[in-house]
Amino acid sequence: MVESKHAEIVVIGAGPGGYAAAFRAADLGKKVILIDKDPTLGGVCLNRGCIPSKVLLHISKVMDEASHLSKMGVTYSEPEINLDAIRAHKDKIVSQLNSGIEKMATARKVEWVRGKALFNSNSELNVINDDGEIKISFDKCIVAAGSVSATIPGVPADHPSVLTSRTALELVDIPERLLVIGGGVIGLELGQVYAALGAKVSVVEFLPNLIPGADQDIVKPLQRKLKKQFESIRLSSKVTSVLPNEDESLTVTIENEKGTSTEIYNKVLVSVGRKPNTNLLNIESTGVEVDERGFINVDVYQRTTIKNIFAIGDIVGNPMLAHKATHEGKVAAEVASGLPAAFDVRAIPSVVFTDPEVAWAGLTEIEAKEKGINYKKGEFPWAASGKAIAMGANQGKTKILFDPETSQVLGVGIVGPGAGDMISEGMLAIEMGADAEDIGLTIHPHPTLGETFGLAAEVFEGTITDLYVPKK
């Protein structure tokens, strides 16, 4: 016998966007059912992405900082790496956060159903799990089913030595040689982790730059460091084949303008983006419109083409970021509950949690030049920051793009330790419509890295005293 349930709002997917949507709807008095196929709440971000990767990145960063202290007169012995203990530490943090989310779900009386959700119609779906099948009818549905790592032709995705971001975070072992295919955010973050733990890491990127989409002046300090940490970085290059060997190593063929080369790696990490999980939902039975790439089309209210079905997060398109999904989830829950709300933001911040961190928000110089948007900028080099020099972070930079007529902030780019935290001031400035004077007259504490934001505004205004900028 098939069990039947009904909810005012059903949420498919318990990642950052999904559980935010479920919790907000519950807070608004709705009966909510939250569906996820995983045994724990939190989705990819918490269980197999954002959080475990940041745990490992913190470890690698501390190891790197310790090694550089020798220049300051403090020397440590070589670190002993216990992979079992590192995995246990990572899993403990994930479990702690899992528990917190589950307690919040219980407190809000959100019903959690484990299983795979499949649409039957615009008002009903089936959830299939080990115990059988549950039929759930709903007034409103919010789809937050997320995404999965993309694959590339010629790479045997099912081979044990071919890693995705998910399997790489399991940290089963540290290969002698690791090839990372893709020089984007995830590839560089995980590459740096493995390099810190002893692997010889190489990166192959199809495009001519690392972290495509970010201004290269804020990427350069990171790239300089990675050139020292990694065995090689090959830009404008393409992996044409990956062939398994008897010892589970992989023979990789790489092509670029210099020709073709073949090398053997113990493991290969494929990090070439993610694709939406739309194909797993039987969404064809709903009439919800999906584009050619599998993303669900939504309006500013997160509504799909079917008025009672909403969609949020990775499944609606780029940028595939947890904080974007969370914001969209709250909007969807509020609209579904009859409140006035919309996803109406001026910018979405991006952060690469490498060492140094790279962060940007709003207009980039790349985008401005492509669209013919006029701008002027104020830049403050961290080589003139006492705090940065004291930390050995003098390669960093804070850059602000301004509207030349109104002096309002259009975009921000930062590279250096803590850039991911610092970008929040830039986001607030963009959303509030702040101008250079607002920022420059805001007293920032000294000595801090954060004061470089105010100093960059002063450079633009021509009021800077911490640098000598010749008048034009």
Residue 466 lies in a domain: no
User: Residue 47: what residue type?
Assistant: N
Are residue 145 and residue 294 in the same domain, yes or no? yes
Q: Output helix, strand, coil percentages for the chain, rounded to the nearest 5.
A: 35, 25, 40
Structure confidence at residue 78 as a pLDDT band (50, 70, 90): confident
pLDDT at 223 over 90: yes
Residue 470 scores a pLDDT above 80: no
Q: Decide if pLDDT at 242 tops 90.
A: yes
Residue 344 resides in a domain: no
Do residues 357 and 453 both lie within one domain?
Answer: yes
pLDDT band at 49 (very low <50, low <70, confident <90, very high): confident
Q: Of the residues 225, 244, 272, which one is the last residue of a structural domain?
A: 272
pLDDT in tens, 302-350: 999 999 999 999 999 999 999 999 999 999 999 999 999 999 999 999 9
Same domain for 424 and 356, yes or no, is yes
Buried b / exposed e along 261-276 (16+ C-beta atoms within 10 A): eeeebbbbbbbbbbbb
Tell me, yes or no, whether 296 lies in a domain.
yes
396-418 mean pLDDT: 98
Same domain, 219 and 234: yes
Q: Write out the DSSP string of 367-403.
A: HHHHHT---EEEEEEGGG-HHHHHHT-TT-EEEEEE-
Give me Rg for the CA atoms of the chain: 24
Work out the average pLDDT over 138-144. Answer: 98
Please tell me the distance from the alpha carbon of residue 304 to that of residue 461, in angstroms, as a whole number.
Answer: 45
Indicate whether 170 and 230 sit together in one domain: yes
Instruction: Please compute the mean of the pLDDT values over residues 58-67 and round it to a whole number.
Output: 90
Is the pTM here over 0.75, yes or no? yes
In this predicted structure, which of 52-61, 330-339, 444-453 has the lowest mean pLDDT? 52-61
CB count, 10 Å around CB of 229?
Answer: 17
Distance from C-alpha of 314 to C-alpha of 233, rounded to nearest angstrom: 29
Residues 127 and 248 in one domain: no
| pLDDT tens sequence across 362-403 | 999 999 999 999 999 999 999 999 999 999 999 999 999 999
What pLDDT score was predicted for residue 1?
Answer: 60
159 among known catalytic residues: no
β strands within 144-257, DSSP E: 147-149, 162-163, 177-181, 200-204, 232-234, 238-244, 250-256
Q: Which domain holds residue 295?
A: 3-149+275-336
pLDDT of 69 strictly over 90: no
> Which pLDDT value is given to residue 131?
84
Q: pLDDT at residue 293 above 90?
A: yes
Same domain (yes/no): 89, 142: yes
How far is 321 from 353, CA to CA, in rounded Å?
A: 13
Catalytic residue among 6, 68, 89, 446: 446
Q: How far apart (Å, rounded) are the C-alpha atoms in residues 336 and 315?
A: 18
CB under 8 Å to 373, separation ≥6 — which residues? 363, 367, 410
pLDDT (tens digit per residue) in 426-440: 999 999 999 999 999
* 428 and 303 share one domain: no
Q: Is the peptide bond before 356 cis (omega within 30 degrees of 0)?
A: yes
Q: Please list the residues that pair with 252 across neighbouring strands.
A: 242, 263
Co-location of 193 and 92 in the same domain? no
Q: What is the mean pLDDT of residues 69-85?
A: 89
Q: 142 and 7 in one domain? A: yes
CA distance 115 to 12: 10
Please say which residue of 272, 306, 322 terminates a domain: 272
pLDDT score, position 445:
97
pLDDT at 471 over 80: no
Average pLDDT of the chain to the nearest whole number = 95
Kindly state whether residues 59 and 101 are assigned to the same domain: yes
CATH of the domain at 382: 3.30.390.30
pLDDT at 468: 82
Q: Please count the structural domains in the chain.
A: 3
Instruction: Verify that 77 and 208 share a domain, yes or no.
Output: no
* pLDDT for residue 472 is more than 80: no
